[in-house]
């Protein structure tokens, strides 16, 4: 541990796998106490147990951020056990795949319920507690290159991530004098449970070959930026939407 987050309580949503699990482990290595939230209770309990055995103060709190009314009680539980929340990594998200002519109303609503409404109310509930505790809070929303790049067949997902980027800037302005930094990361394509099957297909391999560097990113490619936005370095950074995509969103790239 390098300890730049010693004494900080961090909450990671969507922490049962993929980037959420990676971020939880990264924050733990930097000394943070970590609350893992997700729908898959068994998975976050296993990860929290592993972190605890390694010396991290870690708990698992089952949470579906699509249920906005459940977020506040979950955050109350985290504070009861770990103390005042100092960092929120708003990572929970769903893919929202489907051509517009084929996408059901229910699938569209679910995409926005998780990616937009869940992100918004998790940020609100975290900020409410940060302000009450008088801490210099950090909120990092995980958006996507889809916030500013058209990804074919993902119109609902693109719309939801564009909303996430603008919510980031709006909340940053609203809480600028409250000591809370609100920023967003826009990652490019990284293999996760959501897209792994696709990238093993001929179409997925063709997409990778079309990227400027003909490769997928690794989760570790986001580490430096995530720690910057979650730690002391974000004291003068708020309202930023930072793209880290290995050039994937460059013209002609993907």
Task: Show which residues are catalytic.
Answer: 157
Give residue for tokens 């209770």. 41
Concatenated DSSP letters of 1-47: ---TTTT-EEEESSTTSHHHHHHHHHHHHTT-EEEEEES-HHHHHHH
Structure tokens at 249: 């969103």
Interatomic CA distance for residues 222 and 25, integer angstroms: 13
C-alpha separations of 254 from 81, 160, 191, 208, 234 in Å: 45, 20, 15, 7, 31
Secondary structure of residue 86 in the 3-state scheme? strand
Would you give the DSSP letter of residue 63? -
Of residues 6, 42, 36, 38, the one with CA closest to residue 23: 36
C-alpha separations of 54 from 3, 29, 147, 162, 230 in Å: 15, 10, 37, 38, 22
Interatomic CA distance for residues 92 and 199, integer angstroms: 21
DSSP-H helix ranges across the chain: 18-29, 41-53, 68-82, 105-112, 119-133, 155-174, 196-199, 202-210, 223-230
């Amino acid at each position: 541990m390098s300890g730049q987050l010693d004494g900080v309580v961090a909450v990671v949503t969507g922490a049962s796998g993929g980037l959420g699990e990676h971020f939880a482990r990264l924050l733990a290595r930097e000394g943070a106490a970590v609350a893992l939230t997700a729908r898959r209770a068994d998975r976050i309990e296993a990860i929290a147990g592993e972190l605890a055995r390694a010396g991290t103060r870690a708990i698992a709190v089952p949470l579906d951020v699509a249920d906005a009314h459940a977020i506040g009680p979950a955050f109350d539980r985290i504070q009861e056990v770990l103390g005042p929340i100092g960092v929120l990594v708003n990572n929970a998200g769903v893919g929202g795949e489907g051509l517009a002519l084929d996408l059901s109303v229910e699938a569209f609503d679910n995409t926005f319920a998780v990616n937009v409404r869940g992100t918004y109310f998790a940020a609100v509930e975290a900020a409410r507690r940060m302000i009450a505790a008088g801490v210099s809070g950090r909120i990092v929303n995980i958006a996507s290159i889809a916030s500013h790049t058209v990804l074919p067949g993902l119109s609902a997902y693109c719309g939801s991530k564009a909303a996430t980027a603008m919510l980031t800037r709006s909340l940053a302005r609203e809480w600028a004098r409250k000591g809370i930094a609100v920023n967003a990361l826009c990652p490019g394509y990284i293999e996760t449970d959501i897209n792994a099957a696709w990238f093993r297909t001929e179409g997925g391999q063709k997409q990778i070959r079309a990227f400027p560097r003909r490769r997928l990113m690794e989760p570790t490619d986001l580490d430096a930026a995530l720690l910057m936005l979650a730690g002391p370095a974000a004291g003068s950074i708020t309202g930023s939407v930072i793209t880290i995509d290995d050039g994937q969103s460059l013209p002609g790239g993907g």
